[in-house]
Structure 1
Amino acid sequence: MTVYTVKNVASSAFLVTDGKGAMIVDTGVAGRAPAMLRQIADAGLRPADVRLILLTHHHADHSGSALELREATGAPVAIHRDDADQLRRGGRVDLRPTSLVPRLMKVMLAKAEIPAIEPDIILGDEEDLTRHGGIGRSFVTPGHTPGSTCVLLPDNSILAGDALSGGMMRARIARKPMFATDPDAAARSMRVIAGHAPVTVYVGHGGHLTASSVGALQCP
Protein backbone atom coordinates (compact mmCIF):
# COMPACT_ATOMS: atom_id res chain seq x y z
CA MET A 1 0.00 0.00 0.00
CA THR A 2 1.22 3.50 -0.85
CA VAL A 3 0.04 6.95 0.24
CA TYR A 4 0.79 9.83 -2.13
CA THR A 5 0.50 13.43 -0.95
CA VAL A 6 -0.85 16.01 -3.39
CA LYS A 7 -0.07 19.44 -1.97
CA ASN A 8 -1.65 22.76 -2.77
CA VAL A 9 -1.47 26.23 -1.28
CA ALA A 10 -4.17 25.67 1.32
CA SER A 11 -4.01 21.97 2.26
CA SER A 12 -2.95 18.48 1.22
CA ALA A 13 -5.01 15.79 -0.47
CA PHE A 14 -4.06 12.11 -0.58
CA LEU A 15 -4.13 9.22 -3.03
CA VAL A 16 -4.03 5.75 -1.43
CA THR A 17 -3.27 2.69 -3.57
CA ASP A 18 -3.14 -0.99 -2.62
CA GLY A 19 -2.50 -2.89 -5.85
CA LYS A 20 -6.22 -3.48 -6.40
CA GLY A 21 -7.37 0.09 -6.84
CA ALA A 22 -7.16 3.51 -5.33
CA MET A 23 -8.95 5.92 -3.00
CA ILE A 24 -8.77 9.71 -2.83
CA VAL A 25 -8.96 11.25 0.65
CA ASP A 26 -9.80 14.96 0.40
CA THR A 27 -9.50 16.90 -2.85
CA GLY A 28 -7.93 20.28 -2.04
CA VAL A 29 -9.35 23.62 -3.08
CA ALA A 30 -11.19 24.17 -6.35
CA GLY A 31 -8.95 23.74 -9.38
CA ARG A 32 -6.71 21.03 -7.91
CA ALA A 33 -8.19 18.09 -9.81
CA PRO A 34 -5.47 18.20 -12.54
CA ALA A 35 -2.75 17.77 -9.89
CA MET A 36 -4.53 14.73 -8.45
CA LEU A 37 -5.06 13.26 -11.92
CA ARG A 38 -1.34 13.70 -12.66
CA GLN A 39 -0.54 11.85 -9.42
CA ILE A 40 -2.89 9.05 -10.42
CA ALA A 41 -1.08 8.74 -13.75
CA ASP A 42 2.35 8.91 -12.09
CA ALA A 43 1.29 6.03 -9.83
CA GLY A 44 0.64 3.93 -12.95
CA LEU A 45 -3.13 4.07 -12.56
CA ARG A 46 -6.08 5.25 -14.60
CA PRO A 47 -8.77 7.59 -13.24
CA ALA A 48 -11.19 4.66 -13.38
CA ASP A 49 -9.00 2.81 -10.85
CA VAL A 50 -10.16 5.26 -8.18
CA ARG A 51 -13.07 3.56 -6.39
CA LEU A 52 -13.87 6.10 -3.65
CA ILE A 53 -13.47 9.81 -2.90
CA LEU A 54 -13.68 10.34 0.86
CA LEU A 55 -13.96 13.82 2.35
CA THR A 56 -12.72 14.05 5.93
CA HIS A 57 -14.99 17.08 6.36
CA HIS A 58 -16.90 19.65 4.33
CA HIS A 59 -14.52 22.67 4.34
CA ALA A 60 -13.70 24.19 0.94
CA ASP A 61 -9.96 23.42 1.12
CA HIS A 62 -10.83 19.71 1.35
CA SER A 63 -13.94 19.46 -0.83
CA GLY A 64 -13.20 22.10 -3.48
CA SER A 65 -12.24 19.71 -6.30
CA ALA A 66 -14.59 16.86 -5.38
CA LEU A 67 -17.09 17.50 -8.17
CA GLU A 68 -14.41 17.59 -10.85
CA LEU A 69 -12.71 14.46 -9.53
CA ARG A 70 -16.03 12.59 -9.29
CA GLU A 71 -16.67 13.43 -12.93
CA ALA A 72 -13.13 12.44 -14.00
CA THR A 73 -13.01 9.13 -12.10
CA GLY A 74 -16.62 8.04 -11.76
CA ALA A 75 -15.93 7.36 -8.07
CA PRO A 76 -18.60 8.13 -5.45
CA VAL A 77 -18.11 10.92 -2.92
CA ALA A 78 -18.45 9.91 0.75
CA ILE A 79 -18.77 12.09 3.85
CA HIS A 80 -19.95 11.57 7.43
CA ARG A 81 -23.67 12.13 8.03
CA ASP A 82 -23.04 15.10 10.36
CA ASP A 83 -21.24 17.06 7.62
CA ALA A 84 -23.46 15.94 4.76
CA ASP A 85 -26.06 18.72 4.98
CA GLN A 86 -23.44 21.47 4.92
CA LEU A 87 -21.85 19.84 1.87
CA ARG A 88 -25.24 19.78 0.15
CA ARG A 89 -25.83 23.46 0.93
CA GLY A 90 -22.36 24.63 0.01
CA GLY A 91 -21.43 28.26 0.63
CA ARG A 92 -19.35 29.73 3.42
CA VAL A 93 -19.05 28.53 7.01
CA ASP A 94 -18.17 30.26 10.26
CA LEU A 95 -14.61 29.24 11.16
CA ARG A 96 -13.86 29.22 14.88
CA PRO A 97 -10.13 29.66 15.53
CA THR A 98 -8.44 27.88 18.43
CA SER A 99 -5.42 30.18 18.75
CA LEU A 100 -3.94 33.47 17.57
CA VAL A 101 -2.48 32.43 14.20
CA PRO A 102 -5.74 30.89 12.92
CA ARG A 103 -7.52 34.02 14.12
CA LEU A 104 -5.30 36.04 11.79
CA MET A 105 -5.87 33.55 8.96
CA LYS A 106 -9.65 33.52 9.32
CA VAL A 107 -10.26 36.67 7.26
CA MET A 108 -8.72 35.05 4.18
CA LEU A 109 -9.96 31.50 4.71
CA ALA A 110 -13.55 32.50 5.48
CA LYS A 111 -13.96 33.75 1.89
CA ALA A 112 -13.67 30.24 0.46
CA GLU A 113 -16.98 28.68 -0.54
CA ILE A 114 -17.82 25.01 -0.26
CA PRO A 115 -19.15 23.65 -3.58
CA ALA A 116 -22.71 22.36 -3.22
CA ILE A 117 -22.37 18.59 -3.61
CA GLU A 118 -24.90 15.81 -3.16
CA PRO A 119 -22.81 13.04 -1.56
CA ASP A 120 -23.15 9.53 -2.94
CA ILE A 121 -22.32 7.76 0.33
CA ILE A 122 -23.24 8.85 3.84
CA LEU A 123 -20.78 7.46 6.37
CA GLY A 124 -21.65 6.40 9.89
CA ASP A 125 -19.41 6.68 12.93
CA GLU A 126 -17.35 3.64 11.88
CA GLU A 127 -17.25 2.14 8.42
CA ASP A 128 -15.40 -0.66 6.68
CA LEU A 129 -14.42 1.33 3.60
CA THR A 130 -13.88 -1.80 1.52
CA ARG A 131 -17.68 -2.03 1.40
CA HIS A 132 -17.64 1.19 -0.57
CA GLY A 133 -14.63 0.38 -2.76
CA GLY A 134 -12.13 2.11 -0.46
CA ILE A 135 -9.19 1.03 1.68
CA GLY A 136 -9.11 0.66 5.48
CA ARG A 137 -11.87 1.93 7.73
CA SER A 138 -13.18 5.31 8.81
CA PHE A 139 -13.98 6.56 12.29
CA VAL A 140 -15.60 9.82 13.31
CA THR A 141 -13.50 12.40 15.19
CA PRO A 142 -15.82 15.36 15.83
CA GLY A 143 -14.60 18.74 16.95
CA HIS A 144 -13.04 20.42 13.94
CA THR A 145 -16.44 19.99 12.31
CA PRO A 146 -19.37 17.92 13.64
CA GLY A 147 -18.64 15.07 11.24
CA SER A 148 -14.86 15.29 10.94
CA THR A 149 -13.65 11.79 10.02
CA CYS A 150 -10.32 9.94 9.99
CA VAL A 151 -9.21 6.95 7.94
CA LEU A 152 -7.26 4.11 9.56
CA LEU A 153 -5.26 2.29 6.89
CA PRO A 154 -4.19 -1.39 7.03
CA ASP A 155 -0.59 -0.43 7.97
CA ASN A 156 -1.94 1.45 11.05
CA SER A 157 -1.30 4.87 9.58
CA ILE A 158 -4.07 7.46 9.81
CA LEU A 159 -5.33 10.12 7.44
CA ALA A 160 -6.64 12.69 9.90
CA GLY A 161 -7.79 15.61 7.77
CA ASP A 162 -7.90 18.60 10.10
CA ALA A 163 -8.63 16.70 13.32
CA LEU A 164 -4.95 17.44 14.07
CA SER A 165 -2.53 19.93 12.57
CA GLY A 166 1.20 20.30 12.38
CA GLY A 167 3.00 23.16 14.06
CA MET A 168 3.78 26.28 12.06
CA MET A 169 7.50 26.17 12.86
CA ARG A 170 7.88 22.46 13.69
CA ALA A 171 5.64 20.97 11.02
CA ARG A 172 5.88 17.32 12.13
CA ILE A 173 4.78 17.97 15.71
CA ALA A 174 1.10 17.23 16.42
CA ARG A 175 -1.03 20.19 17.46
CA LYS A 176 -4.71 20.79 18.06
CA PRO A 177 -6.79 21.72 15.00
CA MET A 178 -6.54 25.34 13.95
CA PHE A 179 -10.32 25.67 13.92
CA ALA A 180 -12.93 23.80 15.96
CA THR A 181 -16.72 23.97 16.20
CA ASP A 182 -16.42 22.11 19.52
CA PRO A 183 -13.01 22.40 21.25
CA ASP A 184 -13.85 19.81 23.93
CA ALA A 185 -14.90 17.25 21.32
CA ALA A 186 -11.76 18.08 19.33
CA ALA A 187 -9.59 17.33 22.38
CA ARG A 188 -11.32 13.98 22.89
CA SER A 189 -10.87 13.13 19.23
CA MET A 190 -7.17 13.90 19.42
CA ARG A 191 -6.85 11.36 22.23
CA VAL A 192 -8.82 8.80 20.20
CA ILE A 193 -6.39 9.21 17.33
CA ALA A 194 -3.43 8.84 19.70
CA GLY A 195 -5.02 5.75 21.21
CA HIS A 196 -4.63 3.92 17.90
CA ALA A 197 -0.84 4.26 18.28
CA PRO A 198 -0.51 5.10 14.57
CA VAL A 199 2.83 4.64 12.83
CA THR A 200 2.21 7.82 10.81
CA VAL A 201 -0.48 10.48 10.81
CA TYR A 202 -1.11 12.41 7.61
CA VAL A 203 -2.83 15.76 8.11
CA GLY A 204 -4.21 18.43 5.83
CA HIS A 205 -1.92 21.14 7.21
CA GLY A 206 1.62 20.68 8.46
CA GLY A 207 2.98 17.48 6.94
CA HIS A 208 3.24 13.98 8.38
CA LEU A 209 3.30 13.97 12.16
CA THR A 210 5.81 12.08 14.28
CA ALA A 211 4.44 9.06 16.18
CA SER A 212 5.90 10.32 19.45
CA SER A 213 4.17 13.70 19.23
CA VAL A 214 0.83 12.04 18.41
CA GLY A 215 1.30 9.62 21.32
CA ALA A 216 1.82 12.54 23.67
CA LEU A 217 -1.71 13.72 22.91
CA GLN A 218 -3.06 11.04 25.25
CA CYS A 219 -1.74 13.06 28.15
CA PRO A 220 -4.22 15.56 29.68
Structure 2
Amino acid sequence: MTVHTVKNLASSAFLVTDENGAMIVDTGVAGRAPAMLQQIADAGLRPADIGLILLTHHHADHSGSALALREATRAPIAIHRDDADQLRRGGRVDLRPTSLMPRLMKVMLAKAEIPAIEPDIILGDEEDLTRHGGIGRSFVTPGHTPGSVCVLLPDHSILAGDALSGGMMRARMARKPMFAANPDAAARSMRAIAQHVPTAVYVGHGGPLTAASVTALKPL
Protein backbone atom coordinates (compact mmCIF):
# COMPACT_ATOMS: atom_id res chain seq x y z
CA MET A 1 0.00 0.00 0.00
CA THR A 2 1.22 3.50 -0.90
CA VAL A 3 0.14 6.99 0.10
CA HIS A 4 0.93 9.58 -2.60
CA THR A 5 0.83 13.24 -1.51
CA VAL A 6 -0.28 16.01 -3.87
CA LYS A 7 0.75 19.30 -2.24
CA ASN A 8 0.47 22.99 -2.84
CA LEU A 9 0.87 25.96 -0.52
CA ALA A 10 -2.74 25.75 0.68
CA SER A 11 -3.13 22.08 1.62
CA SER A 12 -2.41 18.46 0.74
CA ALA A 13 -4.53 15.87 -1.01
CA PHE A 14 -3.77 12.14 -1.04
CA LEU A 15 -3.98 9.22 -3.43
CA VAL A 16 -3.99 5.89 -1.60
CA THR A 17 -3.31 2.72 -3.58
CA ASP A 18 -3.04 -0.98 -2.81
CA GLU A 19 -3.27 -4.22 -4.73
CA ASN A 20 -7.07 -4.01 -4.77
CA GLY A 21 -7.73 -0.44 -5.84
CA ALA A 22 -7.27 3.25 -5.12
CA MET A 23 -9.01 6.14 -3.41
CA ILE A 24 -8.57 9.90 -3.05
CA VAL A 25 -8.61 11.44 0.43
CA ASP A 26 -9.26 15.19 0.25
CA THR A 27 -8.96 17.10 -3.00
CA GLY A 28 -7.20 20.37 -2.21
CA VAL A 29 -8.38 23.80 -3.25
CA ALA A 30 -10.23 24.48 -6.50
CA GLY A 31 -8.03 23.92 -9.54
CA ARG A 32 -6.01 21.02 -8.11
CA ALA A 33 -7.74 18.26 -10.08
CA PRO A 34 -5.09 18.24 -12.89
CA ALA A 35 -2.32 17.65 -10.33
CA MET A 36 -4.22 14.73 -8.80
CA LEU A 37 -4.99 13.25 -12.20
CA GLN A 38 -1.29 13.47 -13.04
CA GLN A 39 -0.47 11.66 -9.81
CA ILE A 40 -2.99 8.96 -10.72
CA ALA A 41 -1.28 8.53 -14.09
CA ASP A 42 2.18 8.51 -12.49
CA ALA A 43 1.01 5.68 -10.23
CA GLY A 44 0.15 3.65 -13.32
CA LEU A 45 -3.59 4.02 -12.87
CA ARG A 46 -6.50 5.38 -14.85
CA PRO A 47 -9.09 7.80 -13.46
CA ALA A 48 -11.63 4.96 -13.62
CA ASP A 49 -9.51 2.99 -11.13
CA ILE A 50 -10.44 5.40 -8.31
CA GLY A 51 -13.12 3.79 -6.18
CA LEU A 52 -13.85 6.56 -3.69
CA ILE A 53 -13.28 10.27 -3.00
CA LEU A 54 -13.36 10.77 0.75
CA LEU A 55 -13.46 14.26 2.28
CA THR A 56 -12.13 14.42 5.84
CA HIS A 57 -14.24 17.56 6.29
CA HIS A 58 -16.07 20.23 4.31
CA HIS A 59 -13.56 23.13 4.26
CA ALA A 60 -12.72 24.61 0.86
CA ASP A 61 -9.04 23.66 0.96
CA HIS A 62 -10.11 20.00 1.19
CA SER A 63 -13.27 19.94 -0.94
CA GLY A 64 -12.38 22.54 -3.59
CA SER A 65 -11.56 20.09 -6.39
CA ALA A 66 -14.03 17.36 -5.41
CA LEU A 67 -16.56 18.10 -8.15
CA ALA A 68 -13.91 18.11 -10.87
CA LEU A 69 -12.41 14.86 -9.62
CA ARG A 70 -15.82 13.20 -9.36
CA GLU A 71 -16.49 14.16 -12.97
CA ALA A 72 -13.09 12.86 -14.11
CA THR A 73 -13.12 9.58 -12.17
CA ARG A 74 -16.86 8.86 -11.71
CA ALA A 75 -16.01 7.93 -8.12
CA PRO A 76 -18.53 8.79 -5.38
CA ILE A 77 -17.86 11.56 -2.85
CA ALA A 78 -18.15 10.56 0.82
CA ILE A 79 -18.34 12.79 3.89
CA HIS A 80 -19.50 12.35 7.49
CA ARG A 81 -23.15 13.07 8.17
CA ASP A 82 -22.34 16.01 10.48
CA ASP A 83 -20.50 17.87 7.71
CA ALA A 84 -22.84 16.88 4.89
CA ASP A 85 -25.32 19.77 5.19
CA GLN A 86 -22.56 22.40 5.11
CA LEU A 87 -21.09 20.73 2.03
CA ARG A 88 -24.50 20.83 0.35
CA ARG A 89 -24.90 24.54 1.16
CA GLY A 90 -21.38 25.57 0.24
CA GLY A 91 -20.29 29.14 0.91
CA ARG A 92 -18.08 30.53 3.65
CA VAL A 93 -17.67 29.20 7.19
CA ASP A 94 -16.58 30.76 10.45
CA LEU A 95 -13.05 29.69 11.39
CA ARG A 96 -12.11 29.68 15.08
CA PRO A 97 -8.33 29.97 15.55
CA THR A 98 -6.58 28.01 18.31
CA SER A 99 -3.44 30.23 18.48
CA LEU A 100 -1.91 33.48 17.26
CA MET A 101 -0.68 32.38 13.83
CA PRO A 102 -4.08 31.05 12.71
CA ARG A 103 -5.63 34.33 13.88
CA LEU A 104 -3.37 36.14 11.46
CA MET A 105 -4.18 33.65 8.70
CA LYS A 106 -7.94 33.80 9.24
CA VAL A 107 -8.38 37.05 7.30
CA MET A 108 -7.20 35.36 4.12
CA LEU A 109 -8.60 31.87 4.71
CA ALA A 110 -12.08 33.05 5.66
CA LYS A 111 -12.60 34.30 2.10
CA ALA A 112 -12.46 30.79 0.66
CA GLU A 113 -15.85 29.39 -0.34
CA ILE A 114 -16.85 25.77 -0.14
CA PRO A 115 -18.31 24.54 -3.43
CA ALA A 116 -21.91 23.37 -3.04
CA ILE A 117 -21.71 19.59 -3.43
CA GLU A 118 -24.32 16.87 -3.01
CA PRO A 119 -22.36 13.95 -1.50
CA ASP A 120 -22.95 10.44 -2.79
CA ILE A 121 -22.15 8.62 0.46
CA ILE A 122 -22.94 9.75 4.00
CA LEU A 123 -20.53 8.26 6.51
CA GLY A 124 -21.37 7.22 10.04
CA ASP A 125 -19.02 7.41 13.00
CA GLU A 126 -17.10 4.31 11.91
CA GLU A 127 -17.13 2.85 8.42
CA ASP A 128 -15.42 0.00 6.61
CA LEU A 129 -14.40 1.95 3.51
CA THR A 130 -13.99 -1.19 1.42
CA ARG A 131 -17.81 -1.31 1.36
CA HIS A 132 -17.74 2.00 -0.52
CA GLY A 133 -14.85 1.31 -2.89
CA GLY A 134 -12.13 2.66 -0.60
CA ILE A 135 -9.28 1.35 1.56
CA GLY A 136 -9.13 0.98 5.36
CA ARG A 137 -11.76 2.43 7.65
CA SER A 138 -12.89 5.86 8.75
CA PHE A 139 -13.60 7.05 12.29
CA VAL A 140 -15.09 10.34 13.37
CA THR A 141 -12.78 12.89 15.02
CA PRO A 142 -14.93 15.99 15.62
CA GLY A 143 -13.61 19.33 16.77
CA HIS A 144 -12.00 20.96 13.77
CA THR A 145 -15.46 20.66 12.20
CA PRO A 146 -18.46 18.76 13.60
CA GLY A 147 -17.98 15.86 11.20
CA SER A 148 -14.23 15.66 10.70
CA VAL A 149 -13.05 12.10 10.11
CA CYS A 150 -9.74 10.27 9.98
CA VAL A 151 -8.86 7.25 7.85
CA LEU A 152 -7.01 4.33 9.43
CA LEU A 153 -5.16 2.38 6.75
CA PRO A 154 -4.20 -1.32 6.91
CA ASP A 155 -0.55 -0.43 7.67
CA HIS A 156 -1.75 1.56 10.74
CA SER A 157 -0.98 4.93 9.22
CA ILE A 158 -3.67 7.58 9.54
CA LEU A 159 -4.89 10.32 7.22
CA ALA A 160 -6.10 12.94 9.68
CA GLY A 161 -7.22 15.91 7.59
CA ASP A 162 -6.97 18.94 9.88
CA ALA A 163 -7.57 17.13 13.17
CA LEU A 164 -3.83 17.70 13.64
CA SER A 165 -1.32 19.87 11.79
CA GLY A 166 2.42 19.97 11.22
CA GLY A 167 4.64 22.72 12.56
CA MET A 168 5.40 25.77 10.44
CA MET A 169 9.16 25.22 10.70
CA ARG A 170 9.23 21.53 11.66
CA ALA A 171 6.63 20.04 9.35
CA ARG A 172 6.85 16.52 10.80
CA MET A 173 6.23 17.59 14.39
CA ALA A 174 2.58 17.27 15.43
CA ARG A 175 0.69 20.37 16.48
CA LYS A 176 -2.89 20.95 17.55
CA PRO A 177 -5.36 21.89 14.78
CA MET A 178 -5.01 25.49 13.66
CA PHE A 179 -8.78 25.97 13.86
CA ALA A 180 -11.35 24.22 16.05
CA ALA A 181 -15.11 24.75 16.01
CA ASN A 182 -15.22 22.80 19.30
CA PRO A 183 -11.89 22.81 21.22
CA ASP A 184 -13.02 20.19 23.76
CA ALA A 185 -14.05 17.78 21.02
CA ALA A 186 -10.80 18.51 19.15
CA ALA A 187 -8.79 17.59 22.25
CA ARG A 188 -10.65 14.29 22.58
CA SER A 189 -10.03 13.57 18.91
CA MET A 190 -6.31 14.25 19.29
CA ARG A 191 -6.21 11.67 22.08
CA ALA A 192 -8.19 9.18 19.97
CA ILE A 193 -5.68 9.49 17.13
CA ALA A 194 -2.74 8.93 19.51
CA GLN A 195 -4.44 5.87 21.03
CA HIS A 196 -4.32 4.15 17.64
CA VAL A 197 -0.49 4.29 17.90
CA PRO A 198 -0.18 5.16 14.19
CA THR A 199 2.95 4.40 12.18
CA ALA A 200 2.62 7.83 10.51
CA VAL A 201 -0.02 10.55 10.33
CA TYR A 202 -0.72 12.40 7.08
CA VAL A 203 -2.30 15.82 7.52
CA GLY A 204 -3.58 18.64 5.36
CA HIS A 205 -0.86 21.06 6.44
CA GLY A 206 2.71 19.88 6.99
CA GLY A 207 3.58 16.29 7.77
CA PRO A 208 3.66 13.42 7.53
CA LEU A 209 3.85 13.56 11.30
CA THR A 210 6.06 11.26 13.30
CA ALA A 211 4.27 8.79 15.54
CA ALA A 212 6.31 9.93 18.55
CA SER A 213 5.28 13.57 18.13
CA VAL A 214 1.60 12.59 17.89
CA THR A 215 1.81 10.54 21.08
CA ALA A 216 3.62 13.33 22.92
CA LEU A 217 1.26 16.10 21.83
CA LYS A 218 -0.49 17.87 24.68
CA PRO A 219 -4.25 18.45 24.27
CA LEU A 220 -5.75 21.89 23.63
Tell me the distance in 2 between the aligned counterparts of 1:71 and 1:17. 20
Where in structure 2 are the equivalents of 1:31-180 lying within 5 Å?
Answer: 31-180=31-180
Partner amino acid for 1:11? S
Partner amino acid for 2:22? A
Q: Normalised by the size of structure 1, how large is the TM-score?
A: 0.98
Tell me the distance in 2 between the aligned counterparts of 1:188 and 1:99. 18
SS at match of 2:4: strand
Q: What is the CA deviation profile of residues 10-64 of structure 1, one whole-angstrom value per residue up to 9, with x for unaligned ones?
A: 0000000002211000000000000000000000000000000000000000000
1:206 matched residue in structure 2 = 206
SS at match of 1:4: strand
Partner amino acid for 1:196? H
1:152/1:159 contact within 8 Å kept: yes
Tell me the distance in 1 between the aligned counterparts of 2:195 and 2:20. 29
Give the ranges of 4+ consecutive aligned residues of structure 1 lying more than 2 Å apart after TM superposition: 217-220
1:17 matched residue in structure 2 = 17
SS at match of 2:217: helix
Tell me the distance in 2 between the aligned counterparts of 1:6 and 1:40. 10
Measure how far apart 1:206 and its partner are: 1.1
Tell me the distance in 1 between the aligned counterparts of 2:157 and 2:184. 24
Partner amino acid for 1:82? D
2:192 matched residue in structure 1 = 192
Structure 1 residues not aligned, in runs of 5+: none
Q: What is the CA deviation profile of residues 69-90 of structure 1, one whole-angstrom value per residue up to 9, with x for unaligned ones?
A: 0000000000000000000000
2:176/2:219 contact within 8 Å kept: no
Q: 1:118 to 1:53 in 2, by over 3 A?
A: same
Tell me the distance in 2 between the aligned counterparts of 1:139 and 1:61. 21
2:215 matched residue in structure 1 = 215
How large is the RMSD of aligned CA atoms in angstroms?
Answer: 1.0
Measure how far apart 1:219 and its partner are: 7.4
Measure how far apart 1:217 and its partner are: 3.1
2:158/2:198 contact within 8 Å kept: yes
1:96/1:180 contact within 8 Å kept: yes
Partner amino acid for 1:133? G
Q: How many equivalent residue pairs?
A: 220
Structure 2 residues not aligned, in runs of 5+: none
Tell me the distance in 2 between the aligned counterparts of 1:166 and 1:181. 19
Percent identity of paired positions between Structure 1 and Structure 2: 88
Partner amino acid for 1:188? R
1:194/1:218 contact within 8 Å kept: no
Partner amino acid for 1:132? H
Tell me the distance in 2 between the aligned counterparts of 1:206 and 1:187. 19
Q: 1:103 to 1:218 in 2, by over 3 A?
A: closer
1:92/1:111 contact within 8 Å kept: yes
2:16/2:23 contact within 8 Å kept: yes
Measure how far apart 1:218 and its partner are: 6.9
Measure how far apart 1:216 and its partner are: 1.2
